[in-house]
Homo-oligomer: A and B are copies of this chain.
């Protein structure tokens, strides 16, 4: 982990409200793991005052050139400022931070993405491909227009779901997962789930996994101040009985956590 300055290589709106930004980082920035995030200063001045945490959608390295990619939605002040940053602008970020996805050897990784939650899973899928590991990629969005990066997914079986049925399975990616699981013949000993998306979806998926004893890692989100474990501002509520009421710090023990111990009902 390091504080490094970075410069905007490109920053485009890919579909309404969703942007992809590429940031050039110096060699001082360590190679990140899929699921790790950076704490980005989106602009100078006090609006916004705090950095914003973003999962990495990808990491590129060519010779001495290093760059990270972030896929983000404009939901408020910080992301609005970020969306205005032009090519060449200098920003700075702290990272890589947190704990990423940890696929186990000899298990089929089932990646389940909801909406813009696809970002860290695209990063993971590329890593799996490099490792020549097969995987399943389930991706749900409201409509075909909001699907991003599908064509990028290679070396794995992709199944899509859209609320409006404009492509793939018509319905939620949760239902798609249920169908695929039952048809796949996989067992908790042969496969595991990696997911990211709206907390409502993650909640449903973790219930599904718990009921069947499937190992399931989810990437969480929530407001953060320091992002390095100092301020304790990012508590993750755990289910009663788990770890005696302690609140793990999302920035330090997450953002990727064992979904089945998270008390989703108490997570905003």
Q: How many copies does the complex hold?
A: 2
State A77–B45 Cα separation when bound (angstroms): 9
Closest to A45 in B: B47
Residues of B within 8 A of A45 (CB): 47, 77
State A220–B133 Cα separation when bound (angstroms): 74
Chain A contacts with B in 212-238, Cβ cutoff 8 A:
none
Provide the A54-85 mask, 1 if CB < 8 A to any CB of B, else 0: 00000000000000000000000100000000
Closest to A80 in B: B45
A40 to chain B, nearest CB (A): 19
A12 to chain B, nearest CB (A): 19
Chain A contacts with B in 180-203, Cβ cutoff 8 A:
none
Residues of B within 8 A of A77 (CB): 45
State A46–B77 Cα separation when bound (angstroms): 11
A169 to chain B, nearest CB (A): 42
Provide the A6-49 mask, 1 if CB < 8 A to any CB of B, else 0: 00000000000000000000000000000000000000011100
Give me 4 A-to-B residue pairs in the complex whose CB atoms sit less than 8 angstroms apart, sorted by A's number. Answer: A45-B47, A45-B77, A46-B47, A47-B47
